[in-house]
Structure 1
Amino acid sequence: MTATRKGRRSAALSRERIVEAAVELLDSGGESALTFRVLTERLATGPGAIYWHVANKDELLAVATDGVVADALAVGSEQSPAGPEDELRAVALGLYEAIAAHPWLGGQLSRQFTRNGPVVPRIYESIGRRVRALGVPEATWFVTTSVLVHYVLGAAGQNAANSASARTSADGANRADFLDAVSTAWEELDPDEYSFARAIAGQMRDHDDREQFLAGIDLVLAGLRLS
């Protein structure tokens, strides 16, 4: 293949299309489903055309993660332009829903934070700008933003893990069945040793994950107003 033909072929297969196909494979089968062999079959091309754009699977995973997060933050930013508090809620919810929609994303975000990947400053910038706009003292920008980032990713990741566990449960239990079973078990705990756990068991059974997540954001915001 001549250099000219190779260039045309690589240009026809864009980096964006490769990432889009990679995300589709990740969504359908997780990280193990994403191989260059399967990707070349999905794109009806040769491996050389893919390697023209990405060097290896690690780079492809990093680019896919960054792309999904960028889209989530952009959607969140567009949904609520009313003020920094509403924007912060919208951005946080955008990340929450992205992690829920892409079960592989939580693990990749953990890896990115361990390696200081490109997605880390992207998330900090988006949330931190709203923290700054709230009038938080500059000396506490990093701490405040970190609290919000870790809450968002932790809560969203845990929710996604719970959903994935329910989907793959051997007994076919769904979320409602799982929460009912856990709530019932808590209600039967020793009343002296677990008085609080017993008291909230019914609330656990009926709670809404999305509303609970946003309530956590509101608690942080309420604390900022008092500081």
Structure 2
Amino acid sequence: MAEQRTESAGRPRQPRTRTRASHSLESVLAGAVEILDESGAQGLTIRALAARLGGGVASVYWYVSGREELLDLAADSVLGGIFDQIADVGSDDPIDDLRAIAMAMFDTIVDRPWLGAYVLRDTGLQVHSLQLYERIGEEVMRLGLTPRQVFHATSAVVGFVIGTAADLGQEPPAAVVSGEVTREEYLARIAGEWRALDATAYPFINHIVGEFERHNDRDQFAAGLDLLLAGLRLQSESAR
């Protein structure tokens, strides 16, 4: 992709037209995010975006070299909104600050099933992604760990947030999407199937089935995050 951008940069820009004047990079990215939210990554094409914006494809190519760059920039524009959510984050406890940043990041990604695949995909292009990674890393640095420990801890936090948000943010089953059943009815159906399993063969499933049936995805993420951060706090304390 970097090679494509280099070639694009080497070509002379076409004369400005009225079509280009009707757009801006912000409007191009906003339109791309709208399509991504509605149809996912498979629904975003340069032609579809141009049609939504009311211009030709050349008006989109003024701002991006192609679809892949458009996807990276659209994702990065969404991630930029996280900084508004964490503007007031800054306490004496880096673990508390890490938790606040991670929760804001999770909330942003989980509502957009397409987004997880494009976070930190191209840090040379995605300024907000890189800044977010830097911000999390700076909080971890406050724990007094070695560079290797800081790298591993930051990677663990970022990976847990993105991976869990992408997993929990998957499109619901078709029956839930169509309205045939509610989420609660769907979970109750699965829970019923689990309860019918042999408790000797599936002791864990039988043990947690009640929690599964009434669980909240955000609470589930927060619980896992707290376990990760508790381990990080112990590591920090042992390093002193």
Do both proteins adopt the same fold according to a TM-score greater than 0.5, normalized to the shorter chain?
A: yes
Q: Does 2:222 match 1:225? A: no
In the alignment, which residue of structure 2 is the partner of 1:6? 16
Secondary structure in structure 1 of the residue aligned to 2:164: helix
In the alignment, which residue of structure 2 is the partner of 1:200? 208
User: In the alignment, is the contact (CA less than 8 A) between 1:166 and 1:174 conserved in 2?
Assistant: no
In the alignment, which residue of structure 2 is the partner of 1:164? 172
Deviations 1:190-210 (A, max 9, x none): 111211220110011111111
User: In the alignment, is the contact (CA less than 8 A) between 2:89 and 2:100 conserved in 1?
Assistant: yes
CA 1:93–1:179 in structure 2 vs 1: closer, same or farther (change >3 Å)? same
Q: Does 2:144 match 1:104? A: no
Deviations 1:75-122 (A, max 9, x none): 34225333422321222122211222222112334xx54x67644644
Deviations 1:137-184 (A, max 9, x none): 3330111111111111111111101x4336765673332122222222
Distance in 1 between the 2:180 and 2:138 partners? 43
Q: Does 2:187 match 1:179? A: yes
User: In the alignment, is the contact (CA less than 8 A) between 1:127 and 1:145 conserved in 2?
Assistant: yes
Computed over aligned residues only, the root mean square deviation of the Cα atoms, in angstroms, reads 2.7
In the alignment, which residue of structure 2 is the partner of 1:29? 39
CA 1:89–1:18 in structure 2 vs 1: closer, same or farther (change >3 Å)? same
Q: How does 1:55-134 map to 2 (within 5 A)?
A: 55-72=65-82, 74-82=83-91, 83-109=93-119, 113=121, 118-119=125-126, 121-134=130-143
TM-score after normalising by structure 2: 0.80
TM-score after normalising by structure 1: 0.84
Unaligned runs of 5+ in 1: none
CA 1:223–1:20 in structure 2 vs 1: closer, same or farther (change >3 Å)? same
Unaligned runs of 5+ in 2: 1-12, 236-240
Q: Which amino acid aligns with 2:59?
A: A
CA 1:145–1:33 in structure 2 vs 1: closer, same or farther (change >3 Å)? same
- More off after superposition, 124-133 vs 4-13: 4-13
In the alignment, which residue of structure 2 is the partner of 1:216? 224
Secondary structure in structure 1 of the residue aligned to 2:173: helix
Distance in 1 between the 2:150 and 2:80 partners? 22
Q: Which amino acid aligns with 1:218?
A: D
Higher relative contact order by CA 8 Å / sep ≥ 6: 1 or 2?
Answer: 2
Deviations 1:122-144 (A, max 9, x none): 44323211111233333301111
Q: Which amino acid aligns with 1:127?
A: I
Task: Report the number of matched residues.
Answer: 220
Q: State the identity as a percent.
A: 35
Secondary structure in structure 2 of the residue aligned to 1:80: coil
